Structure 1
Amino acid sequence: MRLLPLLVAGAALAAPAAAFAHPHIFAEARLEVVAGDDGTVSELRNVWRFDDMFSASVVMDFDKNSNAVLDPDELAEVGKTVLESLEEFSYYTTITEDGKTIKVAKPDAINVDYKDGQLLMFFSVKPGEAMPLKGKLTFGVYDPTMYAAMDFASDDDLVAVGDKFSACKRTVVRPDADEVLAQNQDTLTEAFFNDPAGTDMSKLFATRLEMTC
């Protein structure tokens, strides 16, 4: 079984625990949080660029005519597969409002491209409920199974878009791993090492955009 099915079909959940010790898939991410004219969060725009090895495995899995590239219909099939399979993982997109988790709605589509040996995915998600620009809002991208590492190379890859955000304070938080471990020693039990996916510990380490409005 190749890497894409492991990522999007959740088959990694059945793999040995050791598989979760470190990521097997790497992607550079960009997240744009958009404020609507009505003073609510209207959508979150995601761009993911995957590493060469994973991208090559996707070509091998979806290149049905064996021409060593992904044609438009094959790219569309990749997007359709990801759209259906990442729903249970909220499309790796996390939103909180004053500490409360806000679910995301299923996007209309996931657009896929393949350039310079790398797979790219573009899509937007919307909060599952109205989300006014009030209080402390956080936005991030991470894989709860720890199988994929979603990296923001620069703080500028976490963007707040829209005039309504002008009254909010923007902060990019990159948690210190040692501090996270020290603050969560009680949860680092044998159960975590046996079933890290069940603890959702990756959320604590994930880079996030905080908006205080």
Structure 2
Amino acid sequence: MIHITAVTPMPRPNWFFRLLSAFLIILFPLPGMPHPHVFISQRTGFVFDDQGLAGFRVTWTFDEMFSVMISEDFDADHNKALDSKEVAEIKEKAFGYIAPYNYYIHVKIDGTPFEVKFINEFNAWLDNGIVNYEFFIPCHITALETPKQIVLSPYDPEYYSDIYFPDKAPLDMENTDAFAIKIQTARDKATLIYYDMVNPMAIFLSFKRK
């Protein structure tokens, strides 16, 4: 059984919000304070196997401006599609550099931070000109008779990218029949980011064996 409680997706930033943010930054700048240049909508899949949690499948959909930049830089044949060579180059030059930042996926297991050391199954594609990334983060956690508590929060600690949850289908579950699961999205009040001003949005997952 999967129990979903209070799923509150992060609202999609619109152009008014972006312009307002830029206006406020100009009027009231903080020394050295960055502001987002890239906006990313994240869908998160929780993948289970026979033992428990196997990892997280993350799908990013980028904003129009970043998509144009990636298309111009990496769609070498300008056919509005990405072949395997182009995807490999994107992974190396437009994705791999965020590895030191946990690939922007910050995870706590029973309150202890989990270091995202690597990802696999990376893919990138264009959908009507919009760039999408998908990748899998292995994170093996054995299910017990008592609940395991997972907190997953996507954010760029330097705030050059703004990651939010979409209004529709922000979460997905795979192979959950053997487990009792509770999940919700809310702000992580135990974490402060961006000059200790913001509690990031997070997914709170609890699971145990049935």
- TM-score between both structures, scaled by the size of structure 2: 0.70
Q: Is 1:205 aligned with 2:200?
A: yes
Per the alignment, residue 87 of structure 1 pairs with 99
Q: Is 1:160 aligned with 2:173?
A: yes
Q: Which amino acid aligns with 2:200?
A: F
Question: How far off its partner does 1:147 sit?
Answer: 1.0
Question: How far off its partner does 1:171 sit?
Answer: 1.8
User: Which consecutive unaligned segments of at least 5 residues does structure 2 have?
Assistant: 1-30
Per the alignment, residue 18 of structure 2 pairs with none
Q: Distance in 1 between matches of 2:196 and 2:80?
A: 36
Provide the identity percentage.
24
Q: Is 1:98 aligned with 2:110?
A: yes
Give the number of the structure whose residues are more often strand, by fraction.
2
Task: Give a deviation string over 1:171-204, Cα, whole Å, max 9, x none.
Answer: 22146xxxx6xx99xx8xxxx9xxx4xx5766x3
- TM-score between both structures, scaled by the size of structure 1: 0.69
Q: Distance in 1 between matches of 2:95 and 2:70?
A: 15
Q: Is 1:171 aligned with 2:184?
A: yes
Match among 131, 146, 149 for residue 136 of structure 1: 149
Give the number of the structure whose residues are more often helix, by fraction.
1
Task: Give a deviation string over 1:41-90, Cα, whole Å, max 9, x none.
Answer: 2011011010111110112222445x374541223311232453121111
Q: Which amino acid aligns with 2:158?
A: T
8 A contact 1:30–1:152 mirrored in 2: yes
What is the CA RMSD across the aligned residues, in angstroms?
Answer: 2.9
Question: How far off its partner does 1:98 sit?
Answer: 1.6
Higher relative contact order (CA 8 A, sep 6+): 2
Task: Give a deviation string over 1:11-53, Cα, whole Å, max 9, x none.
Answer: xxxxx824x1x321111110011122112x2011011010111
8 A contact 2:80–2:129 mirrored in 1: no
- Summarize the Cα distance change of 1:109–1:34 in structure 2 as closer, same or farther, 3 Å threshold: closer
Q: Distance in 2 between matches of 1:43 and 1:109?
A: 12
Per the alignment, residue 17 of structure 1 pairs with 32
